[in-house]
Amino acid sequence: MEVFKDQVYVLTIVPYRDSDLIINFLSRRNGKLAAVVYGGRKIAKSTSFPFQPGELIEMEYKKTENRDFVNILNTSGKKGFSSEQFAYERFVFHSYLIEIVSKISKPGLPSDEFFDLLDEYQRYNRKSETQFSIIAWVLWNILKSGGYQLDISCCHQCDKSSWKMNPDQKPVFRKQEYYLDYDSGAIICKDCYQVSYQTGTLSAAMLKIIWLFESADSYLDSFDDLPSEFTKSLARLLNSYLVKRFEISPKSLSAFSGILNSTV
């Protein structure tokens, strides 16, 4: 049995028995773990668990090797956020993101990628408007961490390159419409498209955004300038692909889809 002192993200909280809770959380070193919080449902008691899914807290816990259920020794945390601080869209996406991470993270595996992603998303704290570029960027990275990267270099059927470098080292994309094959993650140009494919449409502008994402290590402020009509379409496409690839149906998907499909 080993004691860990770790920062963890609370993923889910489920009532258990009369006064207890079962929580799932994501730890950087041990991946997804679960624990019973005894007396966690009691209100305003020393045992009560005051945190919400999505919060980053400090936790001390005892873990036996190969077991995903741990014993919590201590929790503490400053309130990282409250739902009132969020614009509605941000709140919905945050809940959706936590639900996805909860569904696809695994016990026993270090989860640096998810942790970094959640950290970066938390740090990014614009309130004014929905930023579809950060949403698209986060979805893109979740796909990458699952090994479902898109191959946008060429049409999967005719092998024609989708872009080339111009003399100033800037990518120039072919004026062509592409389709993303949800089964393989490959793109197919309009000339090669067959109706039997399960696909979403990709414009040259969306391909360029993916190209920009691929060439950056972290979310850069320069992505803010990307036109939201394209980042929104891209977020929609990546999300359809993600749900299909990971074979998940998150409860908050319909709320999130509402934002992706809204016209304002």
Footprint on this chain of Zn ion (rule: CB under 5 A): 155, 157-158, 189, 192
Q: Nearest approach, Cβ of 198 to Zn ion (angstroms)?
A: 17
CA 86 vs CA 3, 93, 246: distances in Å: 35, 10, 28
CA 145 vs CA 3, 103, 178, 200, 214: distances in Å: 28, 14, 24, 21, 13
Of the two residues 12 and 157, which places its CB atom closer to Zn ion in the complex? 157
Of the two residues 123 and 175, which places its CB atom closer to Zn ion in the complex? 175
Structural tokens at position 109: 């595996």
CA 71 vs CA 16, 142, 182, 193: distances in Å: 16, 29, 41, 54
CA 234 vs CA 35, 61, 204, 237: distances in Å: 37, 40, 11, 5
Beta bridge partners of 26: 9, 32
Of the two residues 193 and 246, which places its CB atom closer to Zn ion in the complex? 193
Helix (H) and strand (E) counts for the chain?
A: 6, 10
Q: Nearest approach, Cβ of 159 to Zn ion (angstroms)?
A: 7
Of the two residues 157 and 252, which places its CB atom closer to Zn ion in the complex? 157
Q: Nearest approach, Cβ of 244 to Zn ion (angstroms)?
A: 22
Of the two residues 23 and 210, which places its CB atom closer to Zn ion in the complex? 210
What is 157-192 written as a DSSP string?
TT--BSEEE-TTS-EEE-S--EEEETTT-BEEEGGG
Interior angle at CA 118, CA 244 and CA 79, nearest 5? 130
Q: Nearest approach, Cβ of 201 to Zn ion (angstroms)?
A: 14
Of the two residues 155 and 186, which places its CB atom closer to Zn ion in the complex? 155
